[in-house]
A and B are shown apart, each in its own frame.
With several copies, the nearest count.
Chain A
C-alpha cells in the first residue's frame, strides 16, 4: 500500500478541485437551502459530474463505469467536500449503486448501473430504522413471501438522497436473514417523506406499507444481505471520510484566513500564541485524518485483511477531527461565526451530521477493538 497519489489520481484530484471551485462553492448550498429546493442538490451538476465520469468511477466499464476504486472516489469527494457539495454520491453511488454492483445479478447490474453512472437514475439505499442507531443490520422491516415475490413493510429513516430518487434498495428481514430488494420509488405503498436535518441535505423517511415486489427484485439471495450491508456501509464510510477531509480542510483554511486578517488589540488575532497552538493541533489532526482516509481507501480497494479496521480508524478520526475543526473555527471566528450570514456554520452543521452518519467516533472505536480482539 502506497500512501501517495498516483499521477492519474493527482490529475483527477486537480480536475475535481478546479470543477468544485468553479461550480460548487459553499454559497450554492446556502442558495439551495434558502430556496427550499425539494431535492437539495442540482440535477444539472449531477449530470455534468456523470459526464466527467465521476458518478461511474466504481462501476465496471461495461456498465458505463471507470472500473476504479475508492482511492479515486476520495479524490473527487474531497474536492466536493470543500464546498459541501450535496450531490448524491453517498446515497446513489456508494450505497445503492455499490449494493447493486456487489450483489446484483448481471441483469440487474446491466439494468441499473449504466443509468446510475449516466446520472439518469438516482438510487438510494433504505436500511436505517428508528431502532438501528448505527448498526446497519438491526432491521425490523419485513419481507414476507407472497406468491413468487415478497411483500415489504416497515419504515426507514434518514434515507440519504431518497427525495426524488427513482429507485430504492430496501433492506428487510426475510426468513432468518436480511434481504435487499429493488423497489421503484413510485410503487404502490411507498411513501417518501422528506426530512429536514441541520445540514439540509437530501434525506427522507421511507414508509413501506404492504409493498409488493416480484421475484427478480431481490438483490442476491434474499436472506444474505447482512454481511453485504456492512460491507457497503464500510464502502460508503470511506467516501464520507473523503468528503469530511475536504470539508475540514476548507473550514480550517477559512479559519486561518480569519486569523490572519481579523485584528484585535492592534494585532492580527492569529498572532496570539494560544490560538496558534490550537491551530497547530487542528492541523495535526487533519494530517492524521488524511493518512487514515488514504489508507482505508487503498485497503478496501485491495481487499486487505485490515480494511475494516482502517475504515473504522478513518471514520472515528474524521468524526472527531471534523467537529474539533468546526468548533475551533466558530470559536476563533467569534461572534460572527455564530451567525447564519457566515459560511462557517454550514461546516459545523455538516460536521455534526457526518459524524453521526455510518457510526460516530465511539461506535467505530468499539468496532476497532472488537476487530482487534480486545
Chain B
C-alpha cells in the first residue's frame, strides 16, 4: 500500500509536469479523441505532444508488458493512473480498437513475432485498426461468413466483402475473419487474419447512416494476398480468437455506455427537461416527463452500480462470466431510451436536420437519437445478447 501511495504521488507529479496545460481540465470527450494511424491529422499540436509523451512512457497501454510498448503496470497501478487522469480531467492520449480490441487479443493469442510487430505500433498510435467480421449475409449469424481465403504457398488469397467495418476509410490494418475450409461445421474452417489495408485489392466505401454520419464502411477484398504468418491463432481455428475478441468488444461497449456519448450525455436529462418544459415549485413542470426522467436516471444509477459491482468482484478475484452480456444489452437500451426521451422533451425542436430554426444542440441531439437506434444492433444485437444470457447464464435449452 505504501508503494501504491508513492506511485500515486509520482504519477500525479508526472502528469502535471508532462500533460500540455491546454489539455488539463478538458476531460474525456470521445468526439475529440485521438484515434491515430497513418491518416490521422491532429487538430491540436498539444494532442500530438501528449500522445508522444504518453507513448514513450508506455502509458497509452498502461497494463501491457513493457517489451511490447506498454507501461507494465499492475492492475492496481493502472487504476491509480486512471483515477489521477480523471481527477485532473486529462483526456486519454490515444483511443481506438487497437488498444481495446486487437491489442488484448494479440496479447492472448499472438506469437512473439506478431506481438513485437503490432503492439508497439498500436501503443504509439501509428497504426489504426478496424474490424472485419460481419458480411451482408452474416450478421447475427456471424459464423456463416463467406469471405474466402485460398492458400497459395506462403500466402492466402482473400476474396469477399465485409460490412460494418468501423471507420475503415481511416484505418491502416484490419483484423478479419475469413473462411479457409468450406465443409464441416461452419464455426470450423474460419481463420483470423491480420491484413494490411494498403495491400492491392482492398477497397473501402463508407456507408451513409440514417443519422447522416458514416462511421461504418463496406470493405471489399478482391484477390488480396496476405502472408500466412498474419494468421492469429491457428488456421481454421479463428472462431476461438473471434469470440475472445467479442468479449473485449462487449466490455468496451459497456464502458462506453456506462459513461459517455453524444450531446445528450453532456447535459443531464433533468437539466434538459427543466430547460424545455419549465419548473413548477422546483420540479420539472410536466409530471409525465418528470416520471420518465426519474426512471431513466434511476435505471442509469442501478446500471452503473452493477458495472461497479462486477469490477469490485473482479478485483476481489471473482472471474467475470457471460453475465457481462447484460452490460451490452442494458447499457445500449438504456442509452436508446434516454435519447427517445430527450427528443420528446425537445418537442417540435427535436425534429431538426439542418439549417435555420434549430440550434446546434437540438440538431445534434436529433441526429444522436437517430444514431442511437443502432446501439442495440451493432456489436451483437440485443436479441443475440439475450440468447447468450438464456443459454450460458440461465442454462435454458436450445
Q: Which residues of A contact B (CB under 8 A)?
A: 2-4, 128, 132-134, 157-158, 193-200, 205, 256, 259-260, 263-277, 279-281, 283-284, 287-292, 294-295, 313, 316-317, 323, 327, 330-331, 334-335, 337-341, 345, 348-349, 352-353, 356-357, 360, 362, 365-366, 368-369, 372-374
Contact = CB atoms under 8 A, between A and B. Distances in A.
A368 B295 CA distance: 10
B356 A374 contact: no
Contacts of B144: 264-266
Contacts of A327: 373
B313 interface: yes
B374 A338 contact: yes
A260 B163 CA distance: 22
A330 B140 contact: no
Interface string B298-326: 11011101101100110110100001001
A3 B374 contact: no
- Chain B contact-residue range equals 35 or more
Contacts of A337: 377
B139 A197 contact: no
Contacts, number: 225
Interface of B: 134, 137-141, 144, 163-164, 207-210, 212, 270, 273-274, 282-284, 286, 288-291, 293-295, 297-299, 301-303, 305-306, 308-309, 312-313, 315-316, 318, 323, 326, 329-330, 340, 343-344, 347-348, 350-358, 366, 369-370, 373-374, 376-378, 381-383, 385-387, 389-391, 393-398
Contacts of B376: 331
Contact of A279 (B138, B207, B382, B394): B394
Most chain B CB atoms below 10 A, which of A195, A198, A259: A198
A270 B396 contact: yes
A277 B388 CA distance: 10
Given A259-B396, A280-B389, A338-B210, 12 more contacts: A134-B347, A205-B357, A264-B141, A269-B140, A274-B383, A279-B396, A334-B381, A335-B374, A340-B212, A341-B208, A362-B344, A373-B282
Nearest to B286: A362
A290 B354 contact: no
Nearest to B376: A331
Given A288-B302, A292-B302, A195 B387 contact: no
Chain B CB within 10 A, most for which of A3, A268, A279, A323: A3
B210 A271 contact: no
Given A2-B312, A288-B303, A335-B378, A260 B395 contact: yes
B256 to A, nearest CB: 17
Chain B CB within 10 Å, residue with most, of A158, A263, A275: A158
Nearest to A276: B390
Contacts of A365: 288, 291, 294-295, 298
Given A276-B396, A313-B302, A356-B348, A349 B290 contact: no
Contacts of A197: 351-353
20 contacts: A157-B348, A195-B355, A195-B358, A264-B138, A265-B141, A270-B397, A271-B396, A276-B391, A284-B329, A330-B373, A335-B374, A340-B209, A348-B373, A349-B210, A352-B369, A365-B288, A365-B291, A365-B295, A372-B297, A374-B274
A360 B373 contact: no
A195 B356 contact: yes
Contacts of A317: 298, 302
